[in-house]
Amino acid sequence: MSAQRADGTGLFIGGQRESGQDVRTGNVTASLAVANIVKSSLGPVGLDKMLVDDIGDVLITNDGATILAQLEVEHPAARVLVDLAQLQDSEVGDGTTSVVIVASELLRRGNDMVISGIHPTSVIAGYRLALKEAVSYLKREMVMKVSELDDEHLINAAKTSMSSKIIGKESDFFAKMAVNAVKSVKMKSSSPMVASQPVQVEAKGGEEKEVESSDTATTKVDSGSSKDSTVASKSNSMSQSSSNSNNTNASSKVVPSSANASNPRYKYPLSAIHILKAHGKSSTESHFIPNGFAVNAMRASQGMPTAIEGTPDNPTVKIAMLDMNLQRHRMAMGVQVIVKDPAEIENIKKREMDITKERIGKIITAGARVVLTTKGVDDLCMKYFVEAGVLCARRCAKDDLKRLAKATGGKIVVTMADMDGNETFDPECLGTSESVSEERIGDGEMLYVTGCGGSGASTIVLRGANEYMLDEMDRALHDSLCVVKRMLESTTFVIGGGAVEAALSVHLEKYAETLNTREQLSISEFADALLVIPKTLAVNAAKDSSELVAKLRAAHAKNQKGEDDSLKHIGLNLTEGTIRDNLLAGVVEPAISKIKSLRFATEAAITILRIDDRITLAKGQQ
Q: What is the pLDDT of residue 217?
A: 37
Please answer whether residues 175 and 161 qualify as being in contact, where contact means their C-beta atoms are separated by less than 8 angstroms. Answer: no
pLDDT digits (tens, 9 = 90+) for 327-365: 776 666 677 777 777 777 777 777 777 778 888 888 898
The rounded average pLDDT for each run of 10 residues, N- to C-terminus, in the chain (622 residues) is 49 70 88 91 87 86 87 86 88 86 93 91 93 92 77 86 84 90 80 39 39 38 38 37 38 38 70 85 86 86 88 85 81 73 77 81 89 88 88 89 87 85 86 89 83 78 88 89 87 88 93 88 93 92 90 91 84 88 88 90 91 77 46
Helices (H), 275-392: 343-365, 379-388
Q: What is 15-147+494-617's CATH topology?
A: GROEL; domain 1 (1.10.560)
Angle, CA of 594, 155 and 174, to the nearest 5° = 110
At 578, which amino acid appears? Answer: T
Q: What is the CATH number of domain 292-456?
A: 3.50.7.10
Residue (of 308, 309, 293, 297) closest to 445 by Cα position? 297
Residue 92 sits at the vertex; the CA angle it makes with 89 and 95, to the nearest 5 degrees, is 65
Question: Of 164, 199, 102, 111, whose CA–CA distance to 527 is shortest?
Answer: 102
pLDDT of residue 279: 85
Query: Residue 261: what pLDDT?
Result: 42
HSE-CB for 87 with a 13 A CA cutoff: 17
- Pick from 450, 178, 477: nearest CA to 291: 450
**40-72 residue pLDDT tens:** 988 888 888 898 888 888 888 888 888 888 888
Q: Which of 385, 588, 574, 610 is nearest to 500 (CA)?
A: 588
Considering the entire predicted model, what is its pTM?
0.74
φ and ψ at residue 531, rounded to 5 degrees: -70, -5
Report pLDDT digits (tens) over 453-485.
766 678 898 998 888 889 889 988 988 998 888
Burial of 16 (C-beta count, 10 Å sphere; 0-12/13-18/19+): middle
Strand intervals (E) in 361-457: 370-373, 391-393, 412-413, 431-433, 435-441, 444-450
> Distance between CA 401 and CA 295 in Å, rounded?
8
Q: Where are the domains of the chain?
A: 15-147+494-617, 189-267, 292-456
> What pLDDT, on the 0 to 100 scale, is given for residue 132?
94
Question: CA-CA distances (angstroms) from residue 120 to 18, 30, 132, 433, 610?
Answer: 17, 19, 18, 62, 7
Give the pairing of strands 216-221 and 412-413. Answer: unpaired
The Cα–Cα gap between 145 and 143 comes to: 6
CA 526 to centroid of chain Cα atoms: 28
How many Å apart are CA 410 and CA 321, to the nearest integer?
8
